[in-house]
Structure 1
Amino acid sequence: MGFVEFRNVYKRYKMGEVIINAANGINFEIDRGEFVVIVGPSGAGKTTVLNILGGMDTCDEGEIIVDGQKINEYKARQLITYRRFDIGFVFQFYNLIQNLTARENVELASQICKDPMDAEEILREVGLGERMGNFPAQLSGGEQQRVAIARALAKKPKLLLCDEPTGALDYATGKSILKLLQDTCRQNGMTVIVITHNMAITPMADRVIKIKNSKVENMGRNHSPADVETIEW
């Protein structure tokens, strides 16, 4: 059994008279500690998968298993606990609290979990040792995304879910953020899932899941994943 499994997962939305299949029988599995890229065009169903996996949405049919638990059977209160303790989120826009420093933004996340990492230690790990006292407005986009990643990592989550984490960044900065995510996966044994429309970054993944028309078009593994520095797009 995989660390994460989607088994025949369906999610439908009703818009007026029209029913949209956002997930139309999705199946995949992911092993613990893998760096996974879920790739596909806009509207393919990638974010729906991420939202269901992160406990921000529920499926209509199917099973979602994370670390042996069927999260599709969770009640609302269980999903809150799951999001709080088990999941780290990194989004395209950093969602930092503007009147808190980098350190305070990270400390905020660590206040809600059981055994958090030290905020200053994790900020040093992501290369922000000199910027802990700065407010988001005093940081570049790449630095703000590093704070967001530090905030997610401080919880020691089972899964780090990243939705287009380089979408708002320039090429070089985006590469440095992807390297940070890849290094985090390798060094901490963390399961990291990155959602993107950028096919060029798939060589850096252990596992690539291609989603098209709300289904898994194919899934493959890279037996020798590339370092992100070697990838051009």
Structure 2
Amino acid sequence: MAFVEFRDVSKIYRMGEVEVAAVKDMGFTIEEGEFVVIVGPSGAGKTTVLNMLGGMDAVTDGKIWVAGTEVSGMGERDLTFYRRYDIGFVFQFYNLVQNLTALENVELATQISKDPLDPATVLREVGLGERMDNFPAQLSGGEQQRVSIARALAKNPKLLLCDEPTGALDYATGKSILHLLQASSHAHGKTVVVITHNAAFTAIADRVIRIHGGHAVANEVNEHPLDADTLVW
């Protein structure tokens, strides 16, 4: 069995008498340790896929498996533990606690983890060794995103999910964040999933999943991914 598997997954949102199928009979697999890019236009169903994979949204039909466990079959209590211990989230906006330092923001996440990494060590790994005592308002957008990545990595999750992680950043900073995510995946053997509308990002992925109209229209292994430092878009 693959590390991540979607089996005929559908998600239908109901608004009164109106039904909207955000995801339709979707199937794909991801292997452990891969750096994955899920790409598609706005409204294709990318965020819905990420929310179901992260245990934040229930499937309407089908099954989702992660590390041999059927996530789609979990009750609320098990889903809470799954999100807490197995998943790291990185969002477009950093969601840092403003009255806590960079180090304290990362420490906060490790307090609810089973086997966390050392917060200071992870902050040094993401290039913030000299900024640990700074508050979010004293950091640039790229530095705040690095804190959010450190916070997610310090949980030592099985799966790191990133929702448009460069969307609020300038070109150079966004490129450095992609490099950091790619390097974190390869250095630590982490399975990292990035969703984006930017097709250029597919060049750095180990696996590319293309989504259109709620369907996974392609699941491709990239035999020769580029280093994120060389990416141009």
TM-score normalised by structure 1 residue count: 0.99
Match of 2:90 in 1: 90
Aligned residues: 233
Say which SS state the counterpart of residue 194 (structure 2) adopts.
Answer: strand
Structure 2 residue 86 is the aligned partner of structure 1 residue 107: no
Q: Which runs of 5+ in 1 are unaligned?
A: none
Structure 2 residue 213 is the aligned partner of structure 1 residue 222: no
Per-residue CA shift, 1:8-67, capped at 9, x if unaligned? 001000123221001101100000000000000011000000000000011011010000
> For the residues of structure 1 that align with 2:54 and 2:175, how far apart are their CA atoms?
25
Say which SS state the counterpart of residue 187 (structure 1) adopts.
Answer: helix
Per-residue CA shift, 1:130-156, capped at 9, x if unaligned? 000000000000000000000000010
> For the residues of structure 1 that align with 2:218 and 2:16, how far apart are their CA atoms?
32
Structure 2 residue 199 is the aligned partner of structure 1 residue 204: no
> For the residues of structure 1 that align with 2:201 and 2:60, how far apart are their CA atoms?
31
Equivalent position amino acid for 2:232 in 1: E
Say which SS state the counterpart of residue 8 (structure 1) adopts.
Answer: strand
Match of 2:78 in 1: 78
Equivalent position amino acid for 1:129 in 2: G
TM-score normalised by structure 2 residue count: 0.99
Equivalent position amino acid for 1:25 in 2: D
RMSD value, Cα: 0.6
Q: 1:118 Cα deviation (Å)?
A: 0.9
Match of 2:17 in 1: 17
Per-residue CA shift, 1:158-193, capped at 9, x if unaligned? 000000000000000000000000000000000000
**How do 1:35-74 residues align onto structure 2 when only pairs under 5 Å count?**
35-74=35-74
Match of 1:168 in 2: 168
Say which SS state the counterpart of residue 65 (structure 2) adopts.
Answer: strand
Say which SS state the counterpart of residue 131 (structure 2) adopts.
Answer: coil
Q: 1:114 Cα deviation (Å)?
A: 1.1
**How do 1:146-165 residues align onto structure 2 when only pairs under 5 Å count?**
146-165=146-165
Equivalent position amino acid for 2:40 in 1: G
Q: What percent identity do the matched residue pairs reach?
A: 66
Match of 1:27 in 2: 27
Equivalent position amino acid for 2:150 in 1: A
Q: Which runs of 5+ in 2 are unaligned?
A: none
Q: 1:231 Cα deviation (Å)?
A: 1.6
Say which SS state the counterpart of residue 2 (structure 1) adopts.
Answer: coil
Equivalent position amino acid for 2:98 in 1: Q
Structure 2 residue 198 is the aligned partner of structure 1 residue 187: no
